[in-house]
Amino acid sequence: MEKKLVLGLILLIILFAALPYSAGAADENFLKYTSSGNAFGAGEDLQIDQNIQGDLALAGSRLEINGNTGNDFLGAGGEIIVNGNVSGNIIAAGGTIRVNGNVGGDVAAFGGKIILSRNSVVKGDILLDGGEVTLDGKVNGNGEVSTGTLKTGDDFELKGNFALQADNYPSNLNDKVGGNLNITQVNATEEQYKRTSEGFSIFSFILGLFASLALGLVLIYLFPGFVGGVAELVKDSPLKTGLLGFLTLFFLPVLSIILLITFFGWSLSILIILLLALALLIATVPVKLLAGEILYNKILKKEAGKMMYYLVGAILFAIVYEIPFLGGLIRFIALIIGLGAIVTWLAIRARSTG
């Protein structure tokens, strides 16, 4: 996958670790555990000294992880320091990112300054994008680095292939790479323009996904029965709800236009348009919730709450939406399925209340 897309999506995913904190935590720093052994935390100055059995997701101004992580570490912050060992992958974005421990998987980082220290060992690949990157550890896999300045220490060794985009880099880099070395020297002005345009695309992606997350999480928090009920209807009969949603999307605008030209129907026409706009706004929320639940239960063989299901589903759909043509088609299908399920839920509620 293209590096820009990978790093952009990685950056997005880890930023959402901050959502529990932004929703309002009572304490300045907090760390919460799930039944599956994962941990989520946020704070101004957060230090994790204990070992984590599963995944660890953190967000804050300064993050320091001294304990070991049994699976992946995901972090976003001003300064991130990983002193403990991480059995899975490290995915991080921040001002300064320093990895001092061993990593069993890959390291993907986006930041101002990225450092793999002398004692670090990465068993997988590294995918780094930063203003200044310092490599002084060992990497058993391949490397892909984009930076203004690359620095290497005496202990740096990369056993696989190394693709580098940089303005400044060490002259003896070839001696430290076991595989093929591919260097693209990028002019600082060109690189700055490229990063600006890429940053705008990533910013638009982040903004859209944050809006989707905010809407969905608020709906699930305030109306869990409604969102859960609509999601169950989608699960039971997606084809039926999709067909109903398509008919609704076609019929209601036609009905509102007919009512609009009558003297007594204009107010009802406006009400229909407003209700349809509201339904279209929230239509994909139950679909994303169901997608996240299926991904967790069927594929990952884990269970979580509605908030986590929606978080996973919203990120999954945001990624899929970026696929040319297919993304637009899936967006439309999710929209009409969700719309049809909402109409069905309202009809059932209306019938049950007489």
Name the domain boundary from 186, 208, 235. Answer: 186
Q: What is the mean pLDDT of residues 294-302?
A: 75
20 and 94 inside one domain: yes
Classify residue 196 by its DSSP letter: H
Give the closest residue to 215 by CA, choosing from 280, 274, 270. Answer: 280
152 and 250 inside one domain: no
Q: What is the mean pLDDT of residues 134-150?
A: 92
247 and 150 inside one domain: no
222 and 177 inside one domain: no
Name the domain boundary from 164, 186, 208. Answer: 186
Distances (CA, A) of 227 to 7, 63, 76, 336: 32, 35, 29, 16
Does a structural domain hold residue 287?
yes
17 and 146 inside one domain: yes
Does a structural domain hold residue 18?
yes
Q: What is the mean pLDDT of residues 238-257?
A: 89
Domain that holds residue 290: 216-352
- In this predicted structure, what is the pLDDT of residue 187? 60
**162, 177 Cβ separation under 8 angstroms:** yes
Give the closest residue to 47 by CA, choosing from 88, 90, 82, 97. Answer: 82
140 and 235 inside one domain: no
For residue 24, name the pLDDT band (cuts at 50, 70, 90). very low
CA–chain centroid gap for 19, Å, is 11
11 and 145 inside one domain: yes
158 and 235 inside one domain: no
Name the domain boundary from 168, 186, 204. Answer: 186
106 and 31 inside one domain: yes
Does a structural domain hold residue 196?
no
225 and 112 inside one domain: no
Q: Could you give the angle at the alpha carbon of 110 between the alpha carbons of 108 and 111, nearest 5°?
A: 140
234 and 167 inside one domain: no
Q: What is the mean pLDDT of residues 153-164?
A: 92
220 and 167 inside one domain: no
CA–chain centroid gap for 113, Å, is 22
Number of domains making up the chain: 2
Per residue in 41-63, pLDDT (tens digit) is 777 788 999 999 988 888 777 88
62 three-state secondary structure: strand
**111, 95 Cβ separation under 8 angstroms:** yes
Least confident stretch, 53-67, 94-108, 173-187, 302-316: 302-316
For residue 30, name the pLDDT band (cuts at 50, 70, 90). low
Structure-token pair, residue 220: 């699930």
Structure-token pair, residue 252: 């209601």
pTM, 2 dp:
0.55
